Structure 1
Amino acid sequence: MGNVLGVLDEVALAGADNALRLHQDNNNKGADVSGDLFLYQRISRRLLEQIHSGAWAVGDRLPSVRHLSKLFGVSVNTVMQCYRQLEADGYLEIRPQSGVFVRRADADGMPSPEDSRYPLLPVEVSLSEQVLRYMALHARNDVVRLGIALPGAEVLPVARVMSVLRDVTRRQPLEAWDYLHPNVHNPLSHQLARRSLAFEQPYAADDIIITNGCMEALTLALRSVSKPGDAIAVESPTYYGTLLLLEAHQRRVVEVPAHPEDGISLSALEQVFQQKRVAACMVATNAQNPLGFTMSAARKQALVALSARYGVPLIENDVWGDTVFNEGDGVPAKAWDSEGLVLYCNSFSKTLMPGLRLGWAVGGRFHRRLLELKQLSTITSPSLSQLAMGRMLESGAYSQHLRELRSALRSQVVAMTALIAAAFPAGTHISRPSGGCVLWLRLPPGVDGDTLFLEAERAGIHVFPGAVFSAMADYRNYLRINAGNPVSDSVRAAVVQLGHLATELAKG
């Protein structure tokens, strides 16, 4: 090993050098946030952050041992130890007489699903007790919260929203006090409609129904297109809230495999549609929770075309759409809906303020039924929230915030991925989300997600086991971790502790 590394070319890529040096300088400006790690582990983590951020792509050659030794002010042996560890973890390939190269790591990607594992048959959902047990830990103030998928308040404009709310109560007290009915002029609806102007099939303000968060929008959509006993197609794994919704309304589920980068399998979904097994399909096409994929524009169009061909409504959950890191990729499937079969659901809970409880739905040909159900259930949504959000959109403050939020979440996801890769045992696979703030982990053989949850609970750490992301109790060796908070000392310590617990479980 030493001989191989010793013959590496001392001339490294200037861009990679600058990225490393900048990262080192930034770390040196503040407190030493990694004092609990050995030197070689600290260097490994910095290299991993650069690999995950794209500074080095698969196949790129890394700098020589002597170059990194000088760059970081450490011994050659320390750098050699770093490279050995990264090679053992599968991130690097050491080629005799050639150098050290980046390769796709075992821990850097989620394997494709085995389609044969999915029977594509309706099953009952019974997860409410499990999910409630897992969610209860989040309410405790003495735990590190890595379970619930939500950006931290540190990356949300709390002060700005509070200021707008105060201004609305001062300038529009009567409007804020009274009902703001869904069938009257609403400035928020007009602002939301303008966001669809570039769509191939834009929608109008009158097409929008304001709801109490995205979950109410999904509920109204589900009740509009199905009845108790019907089966609904969902991608697998899917958001556990979707499964709880279907359970509460006595719908069955057909799980369709989802590729970690391409999204729901269109061939498997067409098979389900052909056999008339479902009344509707609930999907997320942007930054899906928990896999994090964003479907390409071509696949979104193909999904909408499939819906139209078989006359099966699509309920699109786009609650993470505004967080897609590459803004142009986040166009929803609804943008190509010429038949009115896509029921679009969204909210500001994940991007601005969960306490606003403000969402909306575009029902297409089912609009009238959605409106009836809304008025028969909650009548209308809070006026103060709608007035404030209308102002945020009109002023451009929300658009500016989204640019900052996407950047922050991307950085946090990269940092958390590198931290997990360094802390967890070999054989751990980590998703590569295109937006949002969750990481989906496949744990090594022998590590059960529920067991790890219990061990983490004892250590004061909240995570979410993978089993509740499927009605068929799949994904027992999976874990979802929230990366929505900046990587603080407490978060770092929690991930290191989680990795230690997973390593111990892997040993049996």
Structure 2
Amino acid sequence: MAKKYRALAEHYAKAIASGSLGKGERLPSLRDIAVLHRVSISTAVEACRLLERQGYVEAKSRAGYFVIDAMPLVKRAGAAAVSDFDNANERIDPADYVGVHERISVTLARGTRRPMKVDLAGAVCAPELYPGAALRDNMLRLLRARPRVYGTHPQREGVTKLREAIARCSVSRGMHADPETILVTHGCSEALSLALMAVTSPGDVVAIESPTYFGILQIIESLGLKAIEIPTRPDTGISLDALEFAINHMGRIQAVVCMPSVQNPLGCSMPETAKTRMIELCEKHNIALIEDDTYGFFLPNPAYSRPLKAWDKKGNVIYCNSLNKSLSPGLRVGWLIGGKWHKKIEMLMYAVSRHREEMLQLVVADFMAGSAFSRHMKRMNALLKQQRTQLVEAILGHFPAGTEVTCPDAGLLLWVRLPDGKNTDILFDKALAEGIRICPGSIFSNMDKFNDCLRLSCGMPIKGRVESAIRTLGRLAREL
């Protein structure tokens, strides 16, 4: 029955994504589904329950299942069809063993040379979406209660109260983390760097998603590693067939780095079946699996989209996370769970940066200890859902016909592809001249596969200057 109910759920998920079943529409009754698809009632029930867990439908007592959100994964301006971005080459070539060049650093530096009117490049929300006042009050109260905090030695592995709070919050992601295994880091970037340092040596090959967050490319370059890019789709994430091919035919891969939940920049999340297959694949070939779960708390139903670490039984997954995007961009509080590399990473941390600043950890621990964090995320996610919808509509309304844009279920990033091979590096320059900062697709890969793409942030309310900036970007894109 397992394969049947999953295939049945996928059928209705595609119908919802394409708009064939609109928001608020009722699915056929369980009996009708069973008759129509020649399956048992129990198979129909399991399929509908899976759709509910995935956030496609909701059950109403004695009425059946109703579509929650009919927005397709990718919308195309000027056309009704749904696109899969043509899946940008499922082929792997030995020439993909490339080092990182200076393009990322140059682009980032150029983007900071002049004052910006509107920043659509940063993966950060508007200040009002963060609980800044509550965090400030926590810090003042803690300073009064512990006036000697800056005159005492901090705990080496991180404040115990924070690690316990992280462990409790991890339960909402379907994880059971021992606080003793949690190592507090300076954001997720340091966690990823430490993870790669623990499992690789200079010259080793690391498999990454394509496109991927440009910060990962910078870390790989700084450690003297080589990257092999694995095609990644905006619906199902990294291609496991392509990854398996690379493992079997392209030499030793030492580690895989991926974002299975709300990937940056695509916003996609891997199906759970793909996650278990990925874990088994890496365990079979003794490849370290490094998971970046930075956006996991943005998921509408986080318990139904568990991280890879939730399935890790052998300690082969190094789990990395932070609160930079979800709680406060300024605190830079992250953590990792090192699995079988825990002791090595702990020593690397001590060698690289010694102890972590304690007061910020105490502030975060105090906020996460109760229900304040979950209430904050619920409010933030509701606002981001509105802003994603509004930004998609603005892009489709102002960008050239044929423009494609992802419609992720969570997070604050959209991936846009311009028609006719329009170059977003040129658009980047023209936008800077107008006081608008964007992220061109070229910095999300070592290869020239995404020069017609760009990443935009929907972390700011879509009104006023932001709305005007989208109109300007649309005009500039049409003029390319």
TM-score calculated relative to the size of structure 1: 0.77
Matching residue within 281, 306, 318 for 1:343: 318
Q: Which residue identity lines up with residue 379 of structure 1 in the other structure?
A: R
Partner SS state of residue 350, structure 1: coil
Contact preservation (8 Å) 1:122, 1:252: no
Partner SS state of residue 339, structure 1: coil
1:186 lines up with 2:141 in the alignment:
no
Q: 1:185 to 1:247 in 2, by over 3 A?
A: closer
Contact preservation (8 Å) 1:232, 1:280: yes
1:213 lines up with 2:202 in the alignment:
no
Aligned residue pairs: how many? 415
1:323 lines up with 2:298 in the alignment:
yes
- 1:225 alignment partner in structure 2: 199
Q: 1:436 to 1:127 in 2, by over 3 A?
A: farther
Q: Bigger radius of gyration, 1 or 2?
A: 1
- 1:450 alignment partner in structure 2: 425
Matching residue within 134, 143, 149 for 2:108: 134
Partner Cα distance (2:76, 2:108) in 1 = 36
- Counterparts of 1:270-419 in structure 2, within 5 Å, are 270-275=244-249, 276-419=251-394
Partner Cα distance (1:165, 1:153) in 2 = 18
Partner Cα distance (1:135, 1:433) in 2 = 29
Superposed CA deviations along residues 299-345 of structure 1, whole A, max 9, x for unmatched, are 11221111111110111011111112333344211110001010000
Note the C-alpha offset of 1:54: 6.3
Superposed CA deviations along residues 263-321 of structure 1, whole A, max 9, x for unmatched, are 11111111222344311000000110001001122211221111111110111011111
Q: Which residue identity lines up with residue 216 of structure 1 in the other structure?
A: E
Partner Cα distance (1:188, 1:381) in 2 = 12
Note the C-alpha offset of 1:154: 2.1
Q: Which residue identity lines up with residue 419 of structure 2 in the other structure?
A: P
Instruction: Give structure 2 stretches of 5+ with no counterpart.
Output: 1-21, 26-66
Note the C-alpha offset of 1:425: 0.5
Partner SS state of residue 184, structure 2: strand
Q: 1:185 to 1:245 in 2, by over 3 A?
A: closer
Q: 1:185 to 1:169 in 2, by over 3 A?
A: closer
- 1:41 alignment partner in structure 2: none
1:477 lines up with 2:477 in the alignment:
no
Matching residue within 260, 269, 279 for 2:234: 260
Note the C-alpha offset of 1:410: 1.3
Partner Cα distance (1:418, 1:400) in 2 = 28
Q: Which residue identity lines up with residue 462 of structure 1 in the other structure?
A: R
Q: Which residue identity lines up with residue 268 of structure 2 in the other structure?
A: F
Task: Please report the RMSD computed on the Cα atoms of aligned residues, expressed in angstroms.
Answer: 2.4
Note the C-alpha offset of 1:242: 0.4
Partner Cα distance (1:150, 1:127) in 2 = 26
Instruction: Give structure 1 stretches of 5+ with no counterpart.
Output: 1-12, 17-52, 59-85, 92-103
Partner Cα distance (1:461, 1:300) in 2 = 38
1:438 lines up with 2:413 in the alignment:
yes
Farther-moved stretch of structure 1 (270-279 vs 124-133): 124-133
Q: 1:199 to 1:444 in 2, by over 3 A?
A: closer
Partner Cα distance (2:156, 2:342) in 1 = 12
Note the C-alpha offset of 1:158: 1.2
Q: 1:309 to 1:15 in 2, by over 3 A?
A: closer
Partner Cα distance (2:76, 2:181) in 1 = 55
Partner Cα distance (2:281, 2:259) in 1 = 15
Note the C-alpha offset of 1:87: 11
Partner SS state of residue 173, structure 1: coil
Note the C-alpha offset of 1:178: 3.0
- 1:152 alignment partner in structure 2: 126
Q: 1:293 to 1:329 in 2, by over 3 A?
A: farther
Partner Cα distance (1:455, 1:242) in 2 = 27
Note the C-alpha offset of 1:375: 0.4
Q: 1:424 to 1:14 in 2, by over 3 A?
A: closer
- 1:143 alignment partner in structure 2: 117
- Counterparts of 1:229-248 in structure 2, within 5 Å, are 229-248=203-222
Contact preservation (8 Å) 1:260, 1:292: yes
Q: 1:305 to 1:105 in 2, by over 3 A?
A: closer
